[in-house]
């Protein structure tokens, strides 16, 4: 195929374009001896005088709209791959967050239960302690007004003005002269 494309560029210099196009093989020099490499091309050794020319199907020029369509198809393939990837990621994220929600919801329910339990236990303990306090053996007595001290608040005192004069800082000791 590559060879065909190369044929696209006609040699304008040559008036005989047809003759140019028909030959696909490199020009053989008449004096060259026949080589065995040509057997790899699956060609029968031809007499040099008039090689038969096989015309390969001409690729038609690709029209613009087709080029566009091909580009669209390539683009859409990329898009599809991207979208599929995104869908999978989002789906995975949805499942993940829902699982986490469920997990945290269960935790929330357990915490609520604990709170309720703590409140109830706390109150029962308070009641038990209060009941024990009433037993005379514990030596606890109810507070008595005669043991209460009521203090009348002192009259507001005038605000103490701070000493504005800053005392001079201590003079730096003289550096010893002896050293």
State the Cα–Cα distance between residues 51 and 108, nearest whole angstrom: 91
Residue (of 56, 50, 64) closest to 7 by Cα position: 56
Question: Which range of residues in 17-25, 51-59, 78-86, 141-149 is near other proteins by CB under 8 A?
Answer: 141-149
Q: Which of residues 47, 143, 173, 178 is near other proteins by CB under 8 A?
A: 143
Question: Closest CB to other proteins among 27 and 138?
Answer: 138
Residues 57-76 that bind other proteins (CB under 8 A): none
**Residue 20 CB partners (closer than 8 Å, separation 6+):** 10, 11, 14
Residue 72 CA to residue 66 CA, distance in Å, equals 10
Task: Examine residue 145 and tell whether it contacts other proteins (CB under 8 A).
Answer: yes
* Cα dihedral across residues 73, 74, 75, 77: positive or negative: positive
Provide the 10 A C-beta neighbour count for residue 40: 7
Under rule CB under 8 A, residue 25 binds other proteins: no
**Interface of this chain with other proteins, residues 87 to 126, rule: CB under 8 A:** 98-99, 101-103, 105-106, 112-113, 116-117, 119-120, 122-124, 126
The least CB distance from residue 149 to other proteins, in Å, is 10
- For 2, how many CA atoms within 13 A lie in the half-sphere containing its CB? 0
Q: Which stretch binds other proteins (CB under 8 A): 22-30, 66-74, 138-146, 157-165?
A: 138-146
List residues near other proteins by CB under 8 A: 98-99, 101-103, 105-106, 112-113, 116-117, 119-120, 122-124, 126-127, 130, 134, 142-146, 148, 150
């Amino acid at each position: 195929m590559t060879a065909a494309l190369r044929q696209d560029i006609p040699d304008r210099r040559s008036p005989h374009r047809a003759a140019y196009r028909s030959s696909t093989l490199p020009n053989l020099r008449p004096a060259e001896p026949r080589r065995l490499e040509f057997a790899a091309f699956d060609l029968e050794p031809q007499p040099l005088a008039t090689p038969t020319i096989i015309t390969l199907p001409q690729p038609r020029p690709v029209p613009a709209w087709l080029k566009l369509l091909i580009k669209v198809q390539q683009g859409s393939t990329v898009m599809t791959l991207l979208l599929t990837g995104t869908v999978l990621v989002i789906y995975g994220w949805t499942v993940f967050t829902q699982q986490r929600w469920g997990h945290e919801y269960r935790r929330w329910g357990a915490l609520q239960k604990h709170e309720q339990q703590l409140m109830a236990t706390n109150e029962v303990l308070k009641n038990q302690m209060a009941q024990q306090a009433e037993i005379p053996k514990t030596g606890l007595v109810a507070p008595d007004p005669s043991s209460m001290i009521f203090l009348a608040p002192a009259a507001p005192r005038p605000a103490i003005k701070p000493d504005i004069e800053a005392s001079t800082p201590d003079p730096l000791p003289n550096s010893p002269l002896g050293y």
